[in-house]
């Protein structure tokens, strides 16, 4: 099973708030709103396949741009069989490439520096 979750990093130390807030935790996000700059939110996408981590907090970045670039890569993949992006503020490429009719190769980092996953 594929699991996807997005987290926003709380920008300052405050013992009343967690260091990262899941985007579906609306109560905490409402309380944190005065501290957040919604144009420059830092966070990460957590992506795993049957518990095997693919994208983690190691790849934290500007989360709005991160998702925008990821969606553009997915659109390109759906149209052309291959899509790619780099993290918004880091030179870490992520590619998704069709591998036959039922498989997708997801590569993180140059030449898979951070990993390669063959996904259905």
* Arithmetic mean of pLDDT over the chain: 97
Phi-psi region of 3 (alpha: psi -120 to 50; beta: other; left: phi over 0): beta
> Could you report the per-residue pLDDT of 16-64, keeping only the tens digit for each?
999 999 999 999 999 999 999 999 999 999 999 999 999 999 999 999 9
Q: In sequence order, which ranges of 2-102 are alpha helices (DSSP H)?
A: 26-32, 63-80
* CA nearest neighbour of 66 among 42, 82, 48, 49: 42
Q: Report the percentage of the chain scoring pLDDT > 70.
A: 100
pLDDT at 117: 98
Whole-structure pTM value: 0.92
């Amino acid at each position: 099973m594929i699991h996807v979750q997005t987290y926003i990093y709380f920008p300052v130390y405050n013992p009343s708030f967690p260091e990262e807030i899941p985007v579906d935790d609306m109560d905490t996000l409402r309380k944190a709103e005065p501290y957040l700059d919604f144009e420059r939110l830092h966070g990460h996408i957590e992506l795993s396949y049957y518990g095997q981590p693919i994208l983690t907090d190691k790849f934290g970045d500007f989360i709005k741009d991160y998702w925008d670039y990821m969606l553009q890569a997915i659109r390109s993949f759906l149209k052309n069989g291959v899509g790619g992006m780099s993290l918004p503020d880091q030179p870490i490429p992520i590619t998704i490439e069709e591998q036959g009719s039922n498989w997708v190769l997801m590569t993180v980092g140059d030449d898979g520096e951070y990993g390669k996953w063959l996904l259905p």
